Amino acid sequence: MNRAHRKQLLGAAGLLVAAGLGWTWWERHGLEISASPTVNPWLGATALICLSAAIALQIVRTSWLMGCRPKGLTRPLLMAHGMNVWLPSMMGDLFEVWAVAKVAKKTKRSTLILLGHRFCGTVAALMVLAAIAIGPLAPSISAALIAAAVGGYLLIDRTLEYWVRWLRVESEDDDARPRPLGARATLAHLGLAVTQHGIEAAGVFFIGIAVGTAVAPGAAAGMVSIIEMITYLPIPMGGAGANHWGATTALQWLTPGRNTGLLVVTAHGLHVGLGAVTIGIASMLGRDDTPSHTA
């Protein structure tokens, strides 16, 4: 089975999982979105701005790590974001490694190491958001999560030269020896990642108010921590189905007794819609040295 067939099989399996999970979620929570509350368009626009700002901060984070200007990375990162939303996860990541390496004039291995560092920062930031969400319910677990997030990310940076050996990418002649960023730079990257996903949580918070299903800011943070982790599953359409179940489960635990189905559907719809918009914008931007397809 060649690579193309594996991609097709993965996509088909992901669609089946999305359809099954989406159907079971609708059977369980469909009645929660049957009502038509008054929508506040201004708060909806504010939520959209927050979600867009979170995508922009992803570009800033990457440009900081790669040591190049955000402008050159805008097109490949917008395209990769949209691909990761609409296609099974990792499809956009594979494109991102190749395209960012081309723009930043780095080897694929060096780019993969830095993007892996960014991924670890994202996971740590989502752990911090989860800790904020459960703080009032389980303060001890919350403190442990924050300690694990910060300490774990610092450890990832400190042991960079060791874990990069696991990457199945051959070294190239001009590959530089990977060096840790250092504690100060690593914590700064973590702070930027927390800011990015905190702004995304603010967007979810405003969505809830806009559609008449308001939740506490902490609950919005918990919802974001779950749905962002779910996006790494090989399920297309923004983790459809799994996204719905994950968000609903988190909200039911953090805000018991609330009907949040409309919030979950609206947030997922905006997420998928923005994925399409980013692909559209990336397609209209000048190509420069950015590749249009993977090798």
Asked whether residue 117 is domain-assigned, the answer is yes
- Domain-located, residue 201: yes
Gap between the Cα atoms of 241 and 175, Å rounded: 41
Asked if residue 127 is part of any domain, the answer here is yes
Q: Nearest to residue 264, comparing CAs of 27, 33, 24, 23?
A: 33
How far, rounded to the nearest angstrom, does the alpha carbon of residue 84 sit from its chain's CA centroid? 9
Long-range contacts at 108-114 (CB < 8 A, ≥ 24 apart): 108/169, 108/172, 109/167, 109/169, 109/170, 109/171, 109/172, 109/175, 110/175, 110/176, 110/178, 111/66, 112/167, 112/169, 113/160, 113/164, 113/167, 113/178, 114/65, 114/66
Residue-number span of the structural domain to which 100 is assigned: 37-284
What is the reported pLDDT for 4?
66
Say whether pLDDT at 168 is over 80.
Answer: no
Q: Do residues 62 and 112 make contact, with C-beta atoms less than 8 angstroms apart?
A: no
| Percentage of the chain lying above the pLDDT 70 cut | 91
- What is the rounded CA–CA span in Å between residue 284 and residue 295? 21
> Does the residue 13 lie in any domain?
no
pLDDT (tens digit per residue) in 179-212:
899 999 999 999 999 999 999 999 999 999 999 8
Range list of H helices, 135-216: 139-158, 160-163, 183-210
CB atoms within 10 A of CB 204: 28
Residue 279 inside a domain? The answer is: yes
Q: How many domains are contained in the chain?
A: 1
Tell whether 217 is covered by a domain: yes
Is 294 inside any structural domain?
no
pLDDT tens digits, one per residue of 204-259: 999 999 998 999 999 999 999 999 999 999 899 999 999 999 999 999 999 998 88
> The pTM is what?
0.92
Inside any domain, residue 264: yes
